[in-house]
Amino acid sequence: MFSNLPKSCFAALAVAVVANGLSTKSGTILNVNGIYYYVPAVPVSSLGTSYDELKTATTPGEDLILMTVMTGDFTTFDSSALESEVASYTASDDFFNVAFLQAVYLISTTPSELHTSLTSTLSAYGNKLFMIPTGPYFVSAYTGDIYQAWRLYSNYEGAFTEGTYESASGNFSTLSAAITIRPGIKNIYDVAGTRRGCGNRAYFNLYPEKNDTAPAVQKPVDAGAIIVGKMKTSQFANGEMATADWIDYHSPFNARGDGYSDLSFSSGPGAGIGAYSWLDIALGSDTGGSIRNPAQVNGCYGNRPTHALVTLDNVMPLSPLMDAVGFLTRDATLWEAASEALYTTNLSTFTTYPKTLYTTLFPTDATTEAETILLSILSKLEACLGVNSSPRLQFHVGKFHPSKRNCCTGSLLPPRFDLPNSHL
């Protein structure tokens, strides 16, 4: 119940905006103004006996009403305050759309006064009913039950194996949906309530759902992260090349370039961060480069931290002496905040830029358009850091390329060994 909430006001619309629902025993998928949402089967709370008037705000045959909770110092809440809140929600949250103004629940931290002008503003959205209190997101007009709402996204790059959502108990459930959904955790980490597949179908089917969540996953969750799904990995996190080495599952696609570049080995996390703007961060692992390489080929941030900065309990081992936990993300500031939550006091931060810049397998002369771009980037980075780069291993393809040598291609091949006829 929400009886301990601050002074509040609730408004509901008589206009139904929920359509094309698909219900199963594990939840409901709703199409709200062309956007799909998942409503779990288990409510997070209930309105008790205060929901009878909600029935007047529904259309025949409809049950769920969409609600938006607005919290703030609403000393005076008028039409401009409402419009400001709606604009803020729309600009900052890809989950929100104006259909969720079917019901508005206002929570003020101070005594508040509602202006009559607010009525006309709400009416513009179809609002016809005011009443006292309650709850967030979806509410049943016939039972008073309150449900969380989860927006669904298409998994068009194949980065995820399954979507998840957190239940009231703190465990996670696999999303059973008829369409691909918004889900990142590399599927070698245990997440309570889900199976650990490790990129292998037989392994996935052999072992039941896990009872515990890996500490490397739980720390970001405790800091406020919301797990939205398990992400693909090569079999048992081994080095596999797309797509020849991928047998049980198809490799995800790389959104960069022509869409067919290899993804390296933390494939799901790298592909997801590279392709999905709604996915903020993904948890991967690095044994021999499985965070660094995907970060490179997907154009995002990633690192291999010092070994053993965080425990690897409840994580599939590849090489216990080399396995490390890390993030992939498009936002360096977010990477730092997430790393602070994961590594806690083990994290070192710096307030100045590095003064040493090494290049590896980097061109020295611009003989192609691509090399011109690479050298331009290097020049800008040198200027930003105030240093000159130093080569560690230079790129000398021309020295070995057949077109640059006075020889036939055959001379570059290994010698031929003819077998006696008796061996054929």
Q: How far apart are CA 279 and CA 330, in angstroms?
A: 9
Domain 153-346, architecture per CATH: Alpha-Beta Complex (3.90)
Q: Which residues contact 266 (CB under 8 A, 6 or more apart)?
A: 186, 233, 282, 284, 285, 286, 290, 291, 294, 328
Is it the case that residue 328 has pLDDT exceeding 50?
A: yes
pLDDT of residue 233: 92
Cα 271 from chain centre:
11
Closest to 229 (Cα-Cα) out of 165, 141, 155: 165
Q: Which residues contact 4 (CB under 8 A, 6 or more apart)?
A: none
Q: Which residues contact 342 (CB under 8 A, 6 or more apart)?
A: 216, 219, 220, 309, 310, 325, 327
What residue type is assigned to position 342 of the chain? L
Instruction: Tell me the pLDDT tens digit for each residue of 88-140.
Output: 877 877 777 777 787 777 766 666 555 656 666 656 655 544 433 333 478 88
Contact 283, 269 (CB under 8 A): yes
Mean pLDDT in residue range 35-50: 75
Residue 409: pLDDT band (50, 70, 90) is: very low
Q: Where are the beta strands (DSSP E) in 242-298?
A: 281-286
Mean pLDDT in residue range 294-314: 92
Q: For the chain, give every domain's residue range.
A: 8-150, 153-346, 354-424
Tell me the whole-structure pTM to 2 decimals: 0.61
Q: How far apart are CA 356 and CA 96, in angstroms?
A: 45
Burial of 306 (0-12, 13-18, 19+ CB in 10 A): exposed
Contact 214, 196 (CB under 8 A): no
pLDDT of residue 411: 40
Mean pLDDT in residue range 349-373: 88
- Consecutive H or E run containing 294: helix 292-298
pLDDT of residue 122: 59
Instruction: Tell me the pLDDT tens digit for each residue of 157-212.
Output: 777 777 777 776 677 777 654 333 333 889 999 999 999 999 999 999 999 999 99
Query: Which range (128-142, 208-222, 403-417) has the least confidence?
Result: 403-417
Which residue has better confidence, 416 or 139?
139
Maximal CA-CA distance, the chain: 101
Q: How far apart are CA 419 and CA 424, in angstroms?
A: 7
pLDDT of residue 113: 59
